[in-house]
Structure 1
Amino acid sequence: MTPQAILFDFDGTIADTLEVIVRITNRLADEFGYPPTTPEQLVYLKNISSRQILQNAQVSIFQLPLLLRRVRQEMKQEIPQVQPIAGMPLILKQLQQESHLQLGIVTSNQENNVRLFLETHQLSHIFSFIRSGRTLFGKHKLLKKVLKQENLAPENVFYVGDETRDIEAARKTQIASVAVTWGFNSQQILQTYHPDFLISHPQELLEIVQNW
């Protein structure tokens, strides 16, 4: 099989947004009635699944969509200061120039935020498309829509993400999952979800493509 496309999550996979997200959610804590996240709690959260985080969240299920929308909106002010994951720009450029693969972003962040980040770091030309969805656990539906729109065969597509929900979304879409350890979830919890590939450096993306 020849790979056709690599689809990327954005937050924690391409962009190092963890510190920004924690800062924004802590700033909104009083307004939404939940306690701020301490460094100790953050370590705990990185070692449990996305679904467990949602179950433990002290936010009303009715307020959650509004909170997520506010976080995305406030991130627009922070995006110009957000840096790419170390080593990722170079690897993305190599993939785009050498592999002839179609590269796309599928994210729950706002498309405007992603585009602003890419423009800031001169990465806009690398990606053929950006698709954004607003639900935390509906990414598989978005991935299926992308496959149909771009005429991509599932067996020839990778999805690269940093959370357990990214692995779940890829599995539901029947595409190969590449879990990265440099984002939100820890290597330990990612391993328990059995991704097709588990990598700790962007360079390993090239090796996956070359050996596919």
Structure 2
Amino acid sequence: MSIQVIVFDFDGTLADTFNAIIRIANRLADDFGYKPLMPSDIDRIRNLSARQIIQESGVPLFKIPFLLKRIQSELYQDIEFLHPVAGIADLLNDLKKQGKVIGILTSNSEENVKKFLRVNGLYDFFSFIYSEPSIFGKSRALKRLIDHNNFQTQSFMYIGDETRDIAASKKINIKVIAVSWGFNSSNALINYNPDFLVNHPREVLNVIATLN
């Protein structure tokens, strides 16, 4: 069965938000009791999973939802100045021309995503935006999304930039493309065995053509 439904992660996959999120997280370090990241730390953390980063930070798990909420709130103020990943607009346009259903599933807020898409002229490409507040709840959210819309898992694909995106997709047995331009490094992504790893948005079209 060909791929008909393509769902993207937002931060790092569609939107180039990495540096903005690091800046915001550093501003909040004193409030939540962790050390700010130095430039020399960036390459190292790109090789860590979200769980490993949380463990290293020492922030108690019960505080993580409050930290994420603060980061998302501050990101809303900056998001109109951020840009899509280079080549993403062309990819979305090509997928739309092919008649694909395109959506977003993200742990960022729906308000942030909508504001970003409208500012950058990308809103009309997407059939739905699904926000899952928990950073570890993507497999459940993907399953709910598929079941609610009666999507066929064989025709469904998720695209993300983190190891947790790969793990969530594999847990419910859907195809996943990992992208190397986002948060996690290529080495970290490869260790989680994505179905495909791409280095530029145009390569997504090649993957889908191969599967079809």
* TM-score normalized with structure 2 length: 0.97
Q: How do 1:14-53 residues align onto structure 2 when only pairs under 5 Å count?
A: 14-53=14-53
Q: Runs of 5+ in structure 2 lacking a partner? A: none
Q: Deviations over 1:108-145 (max 9, x none)?
A: 00001000000001111100000001101101111011
- Deviations 1:47-97, CA, capped at 9 Å, x for gaps: 122222222122122211111111111110011011100111111111111
Runs of 4 or more off by more than 6 Å in structure 1? none
- Look up the match of 1:93: 93
SS of 2:194's partner is: coil
- Cα distance in structure 1, aligned partners of 2:156 and 2:18: 26
CA contact (8 A) 1:4 1:152 kept: no
SS in 2 for 1:62: helix
Please name the residue that 1:146 is paired with.
Answer: 145
| Contact 2:177 2:197 (8 Å CA) reproduced | yes
1:121 equivalent in structure 2: 120
Q: Could you tell me which residue of structure 2 aligns to residue 192 of structure 1?
A: 191
* Cα deviation, residue 169, structure 1: 0.7
Instruction: Give the alignment's Cα RMSD to 1 decimal.
Output: 0.9
Match of 1:183 in 2: 182
Please name the residue that 1:63 is paired with. 63
CA deviation vs aligned residue, 1:157-198 (integer Å, no higher than 9, x gap): 110000000000111121101000000000001001000000
1:8 counterpart residue number: 8
Q: 1 CA distance for matches of 2:32 and 2:38?
A: 17
Q: Distance in 2 between matches of 1:7 and 1:195?
A: 15
Letter in 1 for 2:19: E
Distance 2:176 2:50 in 1: 16
Displacement after TM superposition at 1:42 (Å): 1.5
Q: Which residue does 1:165 correspond to in 2?
A: 164
Question: 1:34 is paired with a residue of what secondary structure?
Answer: coil
- Give secondary structure in 2 for the equivalent of 1:106: strand
* Corresponding residue for residue 106 of structure 2: 107
1:54 maps to 54
Percent sequence identity over aligned pairs: 45
Asked if 1 retains the 8 angstrom alpha-carbon contact of 2:35 and 2:57, the reply is no
Q: Distance in 1 between matches of 2:106 and 2:172?
A: 15
In the alignment, the residues of structure 1 paired with residue 136 and residue 9 of structure 2 have an alpha-carbon distance, to the nearest angstrom, of: 13
**TM superposition score normalised by structure 1:** 0.97
Matched letter for residue 146 of structure 1: L
